[in-house]
A and B are shown apart, each in its own frame.
Chain A
Amino acid sequence: MLPDKKNIIFIFLIITVFGTVFLWWIFKNQPLPLTERIPGMDGRPAMKARSDTVNIGEFFDTLSAMDALLPGDWPRFRGVDFDNINKDTTPLSEKWDTAGPAIIWQATLGEGYAGPAVHNGRVYLLDYNERKKADALRCFSLSSGKELWRRWYYVDLKRNHGYSRTIPAVTDKYVVTMGPRSHVMCVDPVSGKLLWSLDLEKEFGIPGTEKGRITPDFYTGQCPLIDNDVAVLAPGGKALMIGVDCASGKIIWQTPNTDSLRMSHNSIMPMTIQGKRMYVYNAVGGVSGVSAEKSDLGKLLWLTTDWSPATTAASPVFLGNNEIAVFGSYGAGGARIIISEDVSGFKATVKEQHKATNGLASDQQTPVIIKDCIWAVMPENAGALKKQLVCYKKSDLLTEVWSSGKENRFGRGLGPYIVSGDKLYLLDDDGNLYFYKIQDNKATLISSHKILKGIEAWGPMAIAGKYLIMRDARNLLCLNIGK
């Protein structure tokens, strides 16, 4: 049956109406035009080698004579045993009164997060003087806070979340510092006499390449290490790690950087794994172990690129059983790496890795191990545990055994903490100092006090004798926490 005229008109009308609606629907909400998002759209210029010449350690100012020589030792990042635990037996106060611990002295600093080192009654801090535009190794008397001397050099920096970040390494004979732009300086710890210097950017950088860039984003955060009178540094670029003889300033060994790892904000941690002493370093691009034994000093023992967060600041810690824990910043979380050994040599295997929401993490400070527990303040992006003091078992980095609770969060979770015996001192970003007592896998808040009025109290603290030395972005303070 042929359709009659009415039906044809009806069908035509329906098609017209639906067609019009369809076209209207298609053209009404036109999506915004797609544009390519490709590298190079930000106008970043090609990378150039820095052209300025820095005369490292050029100037010296004698400021005061040494006064009382107090006991107490915190000679480098994480203290004598690299564990951030004070072993000094000086009795410390069990409780603070409402006034809090007494402030013994204080000093004004350039903006930054560099922490102090203490040795033989002197406090060393690598500061940045914004007015002079100079790195300055400042030596203070521990007893009075008087500045004894200052060894400094011009280096032009632009503020990039502060300037200074590193802690000097001190022995009886040497102080080694690393400045924000990777300028290394070795001086006499008493007289301040310049012994040698090294520009890591100039010596180990590969100009014009991202992989050959030495100083990381936000300036250098690696704290130098002195091991048997050898300064151990991890520049990246042409060498993964180097050893510099502190007496002569000569580079006596260097580890080839075959995987183009880059300097991170981590520091080198000496550890004994599988019975072998080694320097463990979590670089940008991978984690490595370099021999610290005389027979094969500087030899790369193992390297894994299976754990390589874009940014990492908390240094590796030894968990026992030939395992280490490593941490990444910016939500990267943490990982457990097992180091095994067979006839072919050492091998690193990432046994487990987790995001900050799923397990132990630290954006900035290195966690502390006490017996079989590991303590840290969780970062801001750690879900329900964010900014809380937490305790995990070394054997399980995924399940917390204790946390300070949602009513006890600490700033942005970036402040430092330090342990002495059963006491844990925690400084939040805003300068509030908390005093916890640790018992097994639990901590009890004993006292707290607002100590600093500044911001970004991120510099690691030091304990020497009965003194706790701490800082915020611009102030250095020495507190009496003794009995």
Chain B
Amino acid sequence: MKRHDIYTLPILIWLSLFFTIPLSITVIMSFMSSTPYGGVTLPFTVGNYVEIMKGRILAILWRTIRISALSTLITLGLSLPVSFFMATSKWKNLLLMATIIPFWTNFIIRIFAWIFLLGNNGMLNNILIQLGIVKNPITFLYNSWAVVVVIVYTYLPYMILPIYSAMEKFDFSMIDAAMDLGATKIRAIFKVMFPSIKGGITAGILFVFIPALGSYAIPELVGGRDSVMLGNLIAWEITTARNWPYATALSNILFVSTALALFLYLKIQGSDGK
């Protein structure tokens, strides 16, 4: 123990107790067998993993990654200019609150609001029809695009906030200085500002991409008959199928692959407070 460990001691204890132990439970469980009524039983087996590899899970996995990656990219694309605007605005705190307040309403009614807005009989379609732009309603919902839109909506603040808080410390006169030296504005932003907000961007990407991988309610509510994501499958295995070892094995596969990708990303990206 070093003297400065006092800073990290609380988190060390807290997460060991409330995260590492539960995580270990799921790892152990994934190597056990299930009973018909949701119990878990010995002997230890790798059967669950074998079963998963045998199944045609790849299609679902691929769809999950595709949807999550696309949502993350769009969220990032929206968040960078917004954070920039916020960080340079006189009204930063007001804008900060403005981005977060919508998310204090309940998740489920926000999604229902989207359904009423974008549905076949929804507000947008009714407006379009009344304006004579389209004859028949456009089906916005019940496909993977709808899932992407609502994921972007749901996770926007988790991208904006870290990027904003990293950007806010940036001395914006540096951009002007770089431009005086002949750089274009875009180039100046990228070369001068980017390095100092990298951590914020990384955090934002993690906060959007990884939870999106586990999405469950969004595909269920606005997706179509074929928009199942991995999160739905895991939830189904836990509740209806009552096969907890299988569900934990699924989750562990998701975990290990995400962790590997994350590790590589952080390595390539270089630093991250290490």
Q: Say whether A and B bind each other.
A: no
